[in-house]
Chain A
Amino acid sequence: MEQQYETEFIFKYWLKFKNILMDGIIIGAANTMFALAATVIGPFKNFLPNFIMAHSLGITVSLAILFSVLIFRPRTWKLFLLIAGIDICFGLFIGLQISFIIMRYFFDIVLSWQTQNLGPQAMLAGIMASAVILYFLTTKIRLRYRNEMIEQEKIKRMAVEKESLLANLRMLQAQIEPHFLFNTLSNILSLIDTKPDKGKSMLLDLTKYLRTSLSRTLPEKTMLSQEITMIKAYLDIQKIRMDERLNYTIDVPDNLWQHPFPPMLLQPLVENALKHGLEPKVEGGEIVIRAIRDNGLLKVEVSDTGLGFSDFDTSRVGITNVRERLGLLFGEKGRLIIEENKPHGVLAIIEVPISEL
């Protein structure tokens, strides 16, 4: 693919006048050098005819190559070389005729194709010179193209990295809600005097919850069981806070317990179900977490019997984060589906491809 578009780049490169001028100067300098060399070793010991001939050949060949590249936009190197070859032969021939005309009209030097075997010699020298210059220029352009590609690749990679870093950061920031933390601490403080055992178990749950959520700065491979353990600790804390207003069920089959599952996807959904669904509801309700394997997909559901969609028109940051992370991890194959739970509440389903876990 890349190879195919390299020639395209020559086209783009020569679309800029500045680049044409630069290459023109290089070609001009090279041709002057060739003229000097021809004066030393060629049949004419006079510099002027050599100079005129070298430049008229050079200019016609360069223009021929330039215009045919701009017009035909060769896609492959083979095509490019074919076109350049034709241009060289054709350009040299025309250029030679032009130089004869210039010599005759301006300097009274009559030259022809046969003069001292000039034609074949000039053609041969021209082909060699063109090949050298062409090789030099295409290498230069190719190098520049490579650098540009590398630069673009770098920018692209940096953008992706930045995006994933930001997503992780947002995830971490959203992870521990200060409201939850301070409420839990007040509860523990209260329980220490009245029911020290309950307070102790709440403190242990909080420790478990904090350890898991704070230690995961990078999304390494984790098991579903780790996620569930953390969620259980979280729900146990909330259970003490909300008392009989909260019930929960976790239904994960034994064979999925040790299944790999990315961290920080499930937790925000559970927190949302609680914060927007059950906490604001006077009677409270139930949360059910269920995992199933289905058709090459691992599906994890979080359903609640809370307030439901009525409270839903404000953006829920947690959900946006989950979707972003699913996208980063699995592209279009990872999905977050949000539906109405019957008879009320919200059902959130995470679908991830098992093959990519």
Chain B
Amino acid sequence: MSYKAIIADDEKELRTYLKRMLAETWPQLEICGEAINGKEALKMVDAYAPHVAFLDIKMPGLSGLDVARKIADTCRIVFITAFDQYAVEAFEHEAVDYLVKPVTKERLLQTINRLKKQLQSSPEPPDGLAEMITKVLTNLQNNAHAGYRYLQWIKTQHKTNVRLISVEEVDYFQAGDKYTLVITAQEEALIKKSIKELSQELDPQKFWQIHRGTIVNVSRIENVGRSLTGRGTLKLKNRPDTLTVSRQYLHLFKQM
């Protein structure tokens, strides 16, 4: 019996290369479609109902993993990746087929032999595949977003442009009438986000609220002294300004 396959990769030369390699190692396999992005791959699976889909992971629009999740119960999937430790680990863990670029003949033969065996025993893909891929996807997403749970960029209006200020650049935030003032070494900008919202979104390890209306970048603190009224006065590095630490937040500086 002859089998059909599609190849999806945004890089033309790599599609050609894989097609040639497959022609050498599995001449009976008919390549019925070459997709240049995820959406096209989906269309081709619908149109040609291939037995196997070779999917590059990194594609514009829909990624190979996104495509795979949608087609997992209609065809078998072989992922292709150039270098992605996390993905490879996840594939190994879930026993999903994958190829690493540049694809070698030996590795391709292994994959083909396994595919042939599976297809002979049953032309339908196994049931758990979609679940396996979903698992891989969530794993990868968790990995990618670990550490970036907090606000990283502040969008500000600068003349007619939107400017992005990295939170690492900010010396401190100060509440104003309607807006919040963002103060960096080089500029001051107004944003709509309130101190309350900021205090929830910023990394509490790096930013401390020291007053109802003030959040300070911890790395900019020079020292903290006590005033006669029991409040604290906070001096900043490389700036003349002093900030007030209200009594409620003085405990932050107990060990300093």
A: which residues have CB within 8 A of B? 178-179, 181-183, 185-187, 189-191, 193-194, 240-243, 245, 279-282, 284, 309, 312-315, 319-320, 323, 332, 335, 337-340, 342, 347
CB neighbours (8 Å) of A332 from chain B are 185-186, 238
B60, A282: Cβ atoms closer than 8 Å: yes
CB-based contact B11/A340 at 8 Å: no
**B161 contacts the other chain (CB 8 A):** yes
**A179 close to B155 (CB less than 8 A):** no
Please give the number of chain B residues whose Cβ is less than 8 angstroms from any Cβ of chain A in the complex: 40
Residue from A279, A282, A309, A314 within 8 A of B164 (CB atoms) = A309
A199 and chain B: residue at smallest CB distance:
B13
Return 21 A-B CB contacts under 8 Å, by A number.
Answer: A178-B83, A182-B82, A183-B11, A185-B102, A186-B13, A186-B101, A190-B20, A193-B20, A241-B13, A280-B60, A282-B37, A282-B61, A309-B162, A309-B164, A315-B147, A315-B152, A320-B168, A332-B185, A337-B163, A338-B166, A339-B163
Q: Cβ of B153 < 8 Å from any Cβ of A?
A: yes
- In the assembled complex, how far is the CB of residue A329 from the closest CB belonging to chain B, in whole angstroms? 15
Contacts of A312 in B (CB 8 A): 153, 164
Across the interface, B14 reaches (CB within 8 A) one of A190, A315, A338, A340, namely: A190
Residue of A at shortest CB range from B11?
A241
Q: A186-B82, A186-B103, A315-B148 known; A340 and B162 CB under 8 Å? A: yes
Return the chain B residue nearest A243 by Cβ. B12
Minimum-distance CB pairs A-B, first 6: A190-B17, A186-B102, A340-B162, A186-B101, A178-B83, A182-B82
A314 engages B152 (CB within 8 Å): yes
The residues of B with any CB-CB pair to A shorter than 8 Å are 10-14, 16-17, 20, 37, 39, 58, 60-61, 82-84, 100-103, 144-145, 147-148, 151-153, 155, 158, 161-166, 168-169, 185-186, 238
Q: Report yes or no: A323 in contact with B166, Cβ–Cβ below 8 A.
A: yes
Docked-complex contact B162 and A182, CB < 8 angstroms: no
Contact assessment for A313 and B153 in the assembled complex, using a CB-CB cutoff below 8 Å: yes
Name B162's closest neighbour in chain A (CB-CB). A340
Partner of B166, one of A280, A319, A342: A319
| Given A279-B60, A315-B152, A320-B168, 5 extra CB contacts under 8 A | A190-B13, A242-B11, A314-B148, A323-B169, A340-B161
CB neighbours of A314 from chain B (8 A):
144-145, 148, 152
List A contacts of B61 (CB < 8 A): 280, 282
Q: How far is the CB of A284 from chain B (nearest CB, A)?
A: 8
Q: A179-B83, A279-B58, A332-B186 are in contact. Are A338 and B101 (CB under 8 A)?
A: no
Chain B neighbourhood of A178, CB < 8 A: 82-83
